[in-house]
Amino acid sequence: MENELLGSRTRREFIGVGAAALALAALGPGGSRLSAATAGGGAGFMRFEEGKYVLPDLPYAASALEPAIDARTMEIHHGKHHAGYTNNLNAALGKLEQPAGETLERLLGRVSRLDASVRDGVRNNGGGYYNHCLFWETMGPGAGGEPKDRLGEAIKVSFGSFAAFREQMSAAAATRFGSGWAWLYVGGDGKLYVSSTPNQDNPLMRGLVEGLGTPILGLDVWEHAYYLNYQNRRADYVAAWWSLVNWTRVGELYAAAKY
């Protein structure tokens, strides 16, 4: 990012920005992460370092989600699939002119208007990178249950009840033909909605998907997410996934969502 930000600036300004970066770094690890989180994405669950997106570590051990999701599936899903999206996103961004500091959310918001030579690369790999970062972040061991506080209330307002929301989200996951995702997202009116998208699309992609907004919970229903353990039984995987949802984290993302 540094080169991108500083590319057109004079040496004098470079020194100025360098001093600001040092001042941020002096705040400690939280401070020095600030610039990376800002460029990587407003939600802060992505990692952007030295001009490249970085595969984030899983926030728990690969075996921590067993028995709902087995360790081998997690290792391959994170270490191979998500790593692949990360590398391919960086390769795609190498062919793209971007405004300095543009977040991935903003880039995905205008992906439909990108030149055809780069559009699919950013759509598939930018989506794949973002979606999986959100996916790991919103699961955890000893989670599940129902959200409380503001998010719990918002779900009741938008869907009538948590049970009704759960049914709608499970149906979106079950009826997605082939590979894709089911989403809970904050729409432009501030209400919560459920949708599903094919492949690595998501509700940020204006002009490409129905149901635009800020995703706060995503469920991966690609076969690579469950096939080793569940084979063709997607519904069983979806039912088990509910026991993993980290509602505390989803609530934070809801509170931070811009719409």
From the list 21-29, 59-67, 118-126, 219-227, the region that binds Mn ion by CB under 5 A is: 219-227
Provide the minimum distance between the beta carbon of 207 and Mn ion in the complex, in angstroms, as a whole number. 23
Give the residue from 172, 159, 153, 154 showing the smallest Cα distance to 219: 172
DSSP string, 48-84: EETTEEEPPPPSS-TTTTTTTS-HHHHHHIIIIIIHH
Provide the minimum distance between the beta carbon of 36 and Mn ion in the complex, in angstroms, as a whole number. 24
Q: ω into residue 67 within 30 of 0, thus cis?
A: yes
- The alpha carbon of residue 14 and the mean position of all alpha carbons in its chain are separated, in whole angstroms, by 32
Provide the minimum distance between the beta carbon of 51 and Mn ion in the complex, in angstroms, as a whole number. 25
Q: Which is nearer to Mn ion, 80 or 148 (CB)?
A: 80
Provide long-range contacts, Cβ within 8 A and 24+ apart, for 43-46: 43/105, 43/134, 43/214, 43/253, 43/256, 44/256, 45/133, 45/134, 45/137, 46/104, 46/129, 46/130, 46/133
Q: Which of residues 130-169 bind Mn ion (CB under 5 A)?
A: none
The answer to the question of residue 201 lying near Mn ion (CB under 5 A) is no
The total number of residues shown for the chain amounts to 259
Provide the minimum distance between the beta carbon of 106 and Mn ion in the complex, in angstroms, as a whole number. 23
From the list 47-55, 170-178, 189-197, 213-221, the region that binds Mn ion by CB under 5 A is: 213-221
From the list 42-50, 103-111, 149-157, 216-224, the region that binds Mn ion by CB under 5 A is: 216-224
The answer to the question of residue 222 lying near Mn ion (CB under 5 A) is yes
Residue choice 220, 241, 245, 246 for contact with Mn ion (CB under 5 A): 220
From the list 54-62, 66-74, 140-148, 214-222, the region that binds Mn ion by CB under 5 A is: 214-222
The contact set with Mn ion (CB under 5 A) reads 220, 222
